[in-house]
Amino acid sequence: MNKDTILAQLPYSRPFLFVDEILEIDENKVSGTYTFDPSLDFYKGHFKDNPVTPGVILTETMAQIGLVCLGIYLSAGSGATEDEDETMAGHVMLTSTAIDFLKPVFPGEKVTVHAEKVYFRFKKLNCSVQMLNASGEVVCKGTIAGMVTKRMNG
């Protein structure tokens, strides 16, 4: 399954899609980017006159890139034929997070998420994940887990 196919399989759309591109992906890791558009609605009230990206949105960005994209990739490669890859890619439902927030992310910032698979068994995917700003500084990091389920299109 290629990067564009994975992006097309994501079950999100704007304004709740927090993946711009997948930089690399294999059975053990994924990296991707997202730039926070300053016009996103949540910036209007978080925080007044000094907008900062909410931690829940940073967590969601890490989950979409670091868990969902990798889960789609892994589920498509788990016994499906090439023809089935696009019709049976998995959904990933978030089950747990443990995230440390170290630096703020402001409107207009581009971030890069790196995730490494800790384990994928019994349909549960657990990843170690970190988000870096454009300067290469870690803004948040932790672990994230979810359940991978098969999706049948059509």
pLDDT tens, residue by residue, 29-88:
999 999 999 999 999 988 888 999 999 999 999 999 999 999 999 988 754 434 444 444
With the CA atoms of 83, 88, 15 and 58 taken in that order, what torsion angle do they form, in degrees rounded to the nearest 10?
-110
Catalytic residue among 3, 46, 91, 141: 46
**Is 114 a catalytic site residue?**
no
Burial tier of 34 (Cβ tally within 10 Å: 0-12, 13-18, 19+)? buried
Q: Is 51 helix (H, G, I), strand (E, B) or coil?
A: coil
- Per the DSSP assignment, residues forming a β-bridge with 116 are 29, 128
Model pTM greater than 0.85?
yes
Residue boundaries of the structural domains of the chain:
3-150
Tens of pLDDT, residue by residue over 127-148, are 999 999 999 999 999 999 999 8
Q: Quickly name the fold that domain 3-150 has.
A: Thiol Ester Dehydrase; Chain A (3.10.129)
